[in-house]
């Protein structure tokens, strides 16, 4: 498919990337391109300028701090995260990335692209909310941090606004995590997904049932408590060719219980 | 923009529009038509090539992003008109019918076998998960890759 005409810039630093993003109204950051290039083909997005982040080494690293915090550069690919020794400190990260699409997509798709596109069916938004991750956003006025549950604002919308760039995600230490989904085919798009973390308190987040991940209120990972927490959330999920709203509501309970049980079992 | 790439050992330099996808650059500008366009939505994998050692779908990458890269396509597999072991195995095991998906299957299998010389059936199936075949099913393709690894 021939894309609409677009300008292309390959900044040499993160600061230059932020400057270019704020200078051009129609500029868009190009991460792995596994979503953006396809929506450009469909003309669902038509940026005037693509700011390619692929050569920026500062967005690439994975670090493990002495307290167990894992910091992941926004341009780390799913494959890199799966193979990273540092990321094994929080094993769920690589385990979930291994369920995304296929080898080729995992080789180019990035952590930052996944969360910044905030497609409600993506895997990582609910995971980041459940893990209590912190998002680092760089703009013209410097860096700010946003907790994951405040990062996702709407379908395809996040707290990283125009002229800003997600640079890194920090994930606090922990081991007792779970993820469950009902996808369309193995490793396909999720119909409903859920991520759970039982490290101290219980954090349970549902995906695909609202514009943003739904963080459930429950003090227990017990199946009955999780089921009633899902019911108390009064979900109003979308209906499409893959599932009715009622079926999604039903699946939300199923995957929430599975994710919570997996997390609880690793304690 | 000026783009310089090495494809199957040969260096090419071309002036390319930023909007051109890598698959169109390979097929239309370099006349390397072995890599196919199946779905053009990132699903079918017929356009799979190896860029700097990494298997990618070339319909989801811009040609300008490949500037400076070393690219391997299906045309680079046979040497002096002789099929390589993997290609011969595809032929021996009837791993293709119409052949449209084959270039992508071969590149995915090449990448898989480089990282894992003796993959299990499950690993092979996971390795070609991003490649769709609409003729044969996958049984003979999996057998061909397995035999080539032995």
Closest by CA position to B101, among listed B148, B45, B63: B45
Query: Which CATH number do you get for residue B40?
Result: 3.10.20.30
Which chain A residues are within 8 Å of B41, Cβ to Cβ? Answer: 38, 41
**Which residue numbers of B have CB closer than 8 Å to A's CBs?**
1, 17-21, 24, 40-42, 45, 48, 54-57, 59-62, 64-65, 108, 111-112, 126-127, 129-131
- Contact at 8 Å (CB) between B111 and A103? yes
Residue B76, both tokens: 């680079």
Answer with the one of B43, B76, B109 that is the final residue of a domain.
B76
How many Å lie between the alpha carbon of B64 and the closest alpha carbon of chain A?
8
Q: What is the pLDDT of residue A201?
A: 92
Per the CB < 8 Å rule, is B19 touching A6?
A: yes
Classify residue A141 by burial, with Cβ atoms within 10 Å: 0-12, 13-18, 19+.
exposed
CA distance A55 to A39: 22
Q: What is the pLDDT of residue B94?
A: 96
Enclosing domain of residue B138? 85-149
Q: What is the pLDDT of residue B137?
A: 84
Whether the model clears a pTM of 0.95, i.e. scores above it, the answer is: yes
Q: What is the pLDDT of residue A77?
A: 98
Best mutation target among B37, B42, B47 (most A Cβ atoms within 10 Å) is B42
If asked whether residues B94 and B125 sit together in one domain, one would say: yes
Q: What is the pLDDT of residue B125?
A: 97
- The residue written with tokens 């992003």 in the block is B65
Q: How many domains does chain B have?
A: 2
CA angle A113–A83–B86, rounded 5-degree value: 100
Grade residue A243 by pLDDT with cuts at 50, 70 and 90: very high
CA distance B65 to A33: 11
CATH 3.30.390.50 fits A177-265, yes or no: yes
Chains A & B: contacts with CB separation below 8 Å: 79
- Contact at 8 Å (CB) between B55 and B111? yes
Per the CB < 8 Å rule, is A1 touching B40?
A: yes
Q: What is the pLDDT of residue B62?
A: 98
**Backbone region of residue B137 per phi and psi (left: phi > 0; alpha: psi in -120 to 50; beta: other values):** left
Please give the CATH architecture assigned to the domain spanning A7-52: 2-Layer Sandwich (3.30)
If asked whether residues B113 and B67 sit together in one domain, one would say: no
Query: What is A64-171's CATH topology?
Result: 3.30.465
| pLDDT (tens digit per residue) in A150-206 | 999 999 999 999 999 999 999 999 999 999 999 999 899 999 999 999 998 999 999
**Domain residue ranges in chain A:** 7-52, 64-171, 177-265
Answer with the one of B53, B76, B99 that is the final residue of a domain.
B76
Grade residue A241 by pLDDT with cuts at 50, 70 and 90: very high
Mean pLDDT (whole number) for A55-79: 98
- The residue written with tokens 């498919």 in the block is A1
**Topology agreement, domain A7-52 and domain A177-265:** no
Q: What is the pLDDT of residue A138?
A: 98
| pLDDT (tens digit per residue) in A9-44 | 999 999 999 999 999 999 999 999 999 999 999 999
Best mutation target among B17, B57, B110 (most A Cβ atoms within 10 Å) is B57
Q: What is the pLDDT of residue A140?
A: 92
User: Which candidate from B40, B64, B130 shows the least CB-CB separation from A102?
Assistant: B130
Query: Which CATH number do you get for residue B119?
Result: 1.10.150.120
Q: Count how many Cα atoms sit within 13 Å of the Cα of residue B138 in the half-sphere of its side chain.
A: 17
- Contact at 8 Å (CB) between A109 and A78? yes
Which chain A residues are within 8 Å of B21, Cβ to Cβ? Answer: 1, 3, 37
User: Which candidate from A3, A54, A187 shows the least CB-CB separation from B19?
Assistant: A3
User: Which candidate from A2, A4, A107 shows the least CB-CB separation from B55?
Assistant: A107
Residue A157, both tokens: 């919308």
Q: Which value does ipTM take for this structure?
A: 0.97
- Chain center to CA of B88: 16
| Stretches in chain B below the pLDDT threshold 50 | none
Q: What is the pLDDT of residue A188?
A: 94
Mean pLDDT (whole number) for A61-74: 98
Per the CB < 8 Å rule, is A103 touching B127?
A: yes
Q: What is the pLDDT of residue B70?
A: 98
How many Å lie between the alpha carbon of A45 and the closest alpha carbon of chain B?
13
If asked whether residues B53 and B115 sit together in one domain, one would say: no
User: Which candidate from A6, A8, A108 shows the least CB-CB separation from B56?
Assistant: A108
Per the CB < 8 Å rule, is A37 touching B17?
A: no
If asked whether residues B8 and B69 sit together in one domain, one would say: yes
- The residue written with tokens 């075949």 in the block is B133
């Amino acid at each position: 498919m021939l894309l609409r005409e677009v300008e292309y810039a390959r900044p040499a630093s993160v600061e230059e990337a932020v400057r270019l993003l704020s200078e051009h109204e129609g500029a868009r950051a190009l991460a792995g391109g596994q979503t953006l290039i396809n929506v450009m083909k469909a003309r669902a997005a038509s940026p005037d300028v693509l700011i390619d982040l692929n050569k920026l080494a500062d967005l690439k690293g994975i670090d493990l701090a002495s307290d167990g915090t894992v910091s992941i550069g926004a341009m780390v690919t799913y494959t890199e995260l799966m193979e990273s020794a540092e990321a094994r400190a929080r094993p769920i990260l690589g385990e979930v990335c291994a369920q995304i699409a296929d080898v080729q997509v995992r080789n180019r798709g990035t952590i930052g692209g996944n969360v910044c596109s905030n497609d409600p069916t993506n895997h990582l938004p609910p995971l980041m909310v459940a893990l209590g991750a912190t998002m680092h956003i760089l703009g013209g006025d410097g860096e700010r941090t946003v907790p994951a549950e405040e990062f996702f604002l709407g379908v395809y919308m996040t707290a990283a606004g125009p002229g800003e760039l997600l640079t890194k995600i920090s994930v606090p230490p922990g081991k007792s995590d779970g993820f469950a989904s009902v996808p369309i085919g193995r490793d396909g798009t999720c119909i409903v997904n859920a991520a759970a973390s039982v490290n101290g308190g219980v954090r349970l987040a549902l995906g695909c049932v609202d514009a943003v991940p739904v963080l459930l209120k429950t003090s227990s990972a017990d199946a009955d408590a999780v089921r009633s927490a899902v019911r108390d959330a009064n979900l109003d999920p979308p209906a499409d060719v893959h599932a009715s709203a009622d079926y999604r509501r039903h699946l939300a309970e199923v995957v929430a219980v599975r994710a919570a049980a997996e997390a609880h079992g690793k304690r | 923009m000026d783009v310089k790439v090495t494809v199957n050992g040969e260096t090419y330099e071309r002036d390319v529009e930023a909007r051109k996808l890598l698959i169109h650059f390979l097929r239309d500008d370099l006349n390397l038509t072995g890599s196919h366009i199946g779905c053009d939505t990132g699903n079918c994998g017929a356009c799979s090539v190896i860029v700097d050692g990494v298997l990618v779908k070339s319909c989801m990458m811009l040609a300008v992003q490949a500037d400076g890269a070393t690219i391997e396509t299906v045309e680079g597999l046979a040497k002096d008109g002789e099929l390589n072991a993997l290609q011969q195995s595809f032929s021996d095991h009837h791993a293709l019918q119409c052949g449209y998906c084959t270039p992508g299957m071969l590149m995915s299998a090449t990448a898989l076998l480089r990282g894992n010389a003796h993959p299990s059936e499950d690993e092979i199936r996971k390795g070609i998960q991003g490649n769709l075949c609409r003729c044969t099913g996958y049984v003979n393709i999996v057998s061909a890759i397995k035999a080539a690894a032995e």
